[in-house]
Amino acid sequence: MQRLQTILQYTVSSLILFLFLAIPLSFLSSHQPSQFPSPTPFTSASEIKSFDSYIEELYQLCNLEDYQLPFKTFKLGMIGFVNLNSQDELENEKVLSIVDYDKPSTEKRFYVIDLEEKRVKHHTIMAHGKKTGWDMATKFSNTPNSHQSSLGFYKTAETYMGKYGYSLRLDGLERGFNCKARDRAIVMHGADYVSQDFIKQHGRLGRSWGCLSLTRMDSKPVIDVIREGSCIYVHRNDRDYLGRSKVLNEKVARRNFEEML
């Protein structure tokens, strides 16, 4: 919670400084109006501190459009992130990870976003559950032995050495959607079936039993960054989930955001 407040305060200060420095010297001369910068969307400090403007600027500063992460998906991740922080659910408030299952398995759909450094630290491919779909993830479950992925917000937990080597346990934070993750042994790990070679051979990634599976090369550096209490948002444009998730309460997020400033 305290770290997020620091991040928010630092970002607001940085934006104000950016706006001040963005005014070119040509402003002092009436002979060079064509060199004025494009109008900024902010006209006052109070607007910069708004929930919407904060997320929009963070999206831009992290260059998330270049990584083809839709703004709507990022905003949903931030809504949940703010709400969970307000409840002191997260110990590692520096990073937000997003799995975008609106994308096929052949595309990079896993993002680790450093909210302090304002950059994407990891962007890579990720598998989904065997019974969640072929190339696209379409069916989700919280049921043991379903071999399906689960949507919603997770908190990363402890690491361990298992069947797939260095792995990360996950705790689902949403009742009815992913709260049985630990009982189902839904974890993050590397796997041979997650690779560009597998895609070339089969036209899709291999599939897990519901785990968030990465490439062997990516798994350790990713796990080392996000372990021990950071937030993961597993997204799909799923009407049932988006309509019933209590973590994705935007009104509450706005109120929590204002209290953090």
Domain count, the chain: 1
Which portions of the chain are predicted below pLDDT 50?
15-48
Tell me the Ramachandran region of residue 34: left when phi exceeds 0, alpha when psi lies from -120 to 50, beta otherwise: alpha
Give the pLDDT confidence of 77-94 residue by residue, as tens digits. 999 999 999 999 999 999
How confident is the model at residue 75, as a pLDDT?
98
How confident is the model at residue 44, as a pLDDT?
43
How confident is the model at residue 22, as a pLDDT?
46
The dihedral sign for the CA sequence 140, 85, 220, 187: negative
Cα 203 to Cα 134: distance, rounded to the nearest angstrom: 10
This prediction's pTM: 0.83
| Pair type for strands 212-214 and 187-190 | parallel
How confident is the model at residue 114, as a pLDDT?
98
In this structure, the dihedral spanned by the alpha carbons of residues 250, 151, 230 and 251, taken in order and rounded to 10 degrees, is 10
Give the pLDDT confidence of 110-165 residue by residue, as tens digits. 999 999 999 999 999 999 999 999 999 999 999 999 999 999 999 999 999 999 99
126 touches 99 (CB < 8 A):
yes
How confident is the model at residue 260, as a pLDDT?
80
How confident is the model at residue 70, as a pLDDT?
98
Residue 233, domain CATH: 2.40.440.10
The dihedral sign for the CA sequence 242, 243, 247, 252: positive
Cα 199 to Cα 193: distance, rounded to the nearest angstrom: 9
Q: Which domain holds residue 114?
A: 2-260
